[in-house]
Amino acid sequence: MLEYINHAKLNGEDTFILAQATSPFIRSVDIDRALDQLDKSNASSLLSCVLTKRFFWDNNGTPINYDFNMRPRRQDFDGMYMENGAFYINKVANIINYQNRLTKPITIFEMPEYSAVDIDEETDWIVAESLMNNLLLKGDGFA
């Protein structure tokens, strides 16, 4: 990002959107809504996330986001936000000053859980393609 910003000689007040090419479920409407959300918030930057109702453990066998002695049903669990890596939005000046795509305060733009599919491996492509075909059949805005 910094290399591009310097090469393009972007203005510090410009809004920079980093959209990840490996996230196939970004729609233009998501970007539009995220920009609107950031504009209406008191935040400096925004990242896209999915609300997941999964239970996480660390490599020491310790639960991270719940008490295993009182495990809630997933449908009763508030869940937690997970970066889906789809996109990040910030002002160019913030990116330059902090050398980071995010600066506090940060707001979260929630996307559907299926948008967490990220194409990094060959099998990811198969999953994404199957999901895309299913969404197209349902008419979920991917035509």
Catalytic residue set = 71
Q: What angle do CA 35, 37, 40 make, to 5 degrees?
A: 110
Contact yes or no for 106/41 (Cβ under 8 A): no
Token pair of 59, please?
């490599």
Q: Which of 40, 36, 45, 47 shows the shortest CA–CA distance to 104?
A: 45
Q: How far apart are CA 125 and CA 40, in angstroms?
A: 36
